[in-house]
Amino acid sequence: EVQLVQSGAEVKKPGESLRISCKGSGYTFTSYWINWVRQMPGKGLEWMGRIDPSDSYTNYSPSFRGRVTISVDKSISTAYLQWRSLEASDTAMYYCARHETIAARPVWFDPWGQGTLVTVSS
């Protein structure tokens, strides 16, 4: 079974750093991009960026570029989303999602991880 398992909920203070993880299993991890998606409380889905685990190449949404860093450790089939300095506005649920491919072309997201709730509060 293809699965993405994310790290647990985090409570942090403004200014602190954080790295959350997403571990893939049941498939060849380096063959599919991993995306990160933000969902703020009561709001919709926002694509943040993606990484190609085979070469660590990344794309970021302009809204998130410079605010977060996406990385990967392919030796342990794990992707990461990292902040250097959290703000209260980073409070949200964060999902990772595998980027399905058709004839080597990236298409829809499936499956999704279970989500990691990040709460930033003083």
Partner 1 sequence: DIQMTQSPSSLSASVGDRVTITCRASQGISNSLAWYQQKPGKVPKLLIYAASTLPSGVPSRFSGSGSGTDFTLTISSLQPEDVATYYCQKYDTAPWTFGQGTKVEIK
Nearer to partner 1, 70 or 97 (CB): 97
Nearer to partner 1, 66 or 75 (CB): 66
Least gap, CB of 16 to partner 1 (angstroms) = 26
Least gap, CB of 114 to partner 1 (angstroms) = 6
Least gap, CB of 19 to partner 1 (angstroms) = 21
Closest CA to 79 of 118, 41, 113, 120: 113
- Using alpha carbons, list the distances in angstroms from residue 34 to 6, 21, 104: 12, 11, 14
Nearer to partner 1, 68 or 86 (CB): 68
Footprint on this chain of partner 1 (rule: CB under 8 A):
35, 37, 44-47, 50, 59, 61-62, 95, 97, 100, 106-115
CB 2 within 8 A of CB 26: yes
Our CA angle for 99, 50, 97, nearest 5°, is: 40
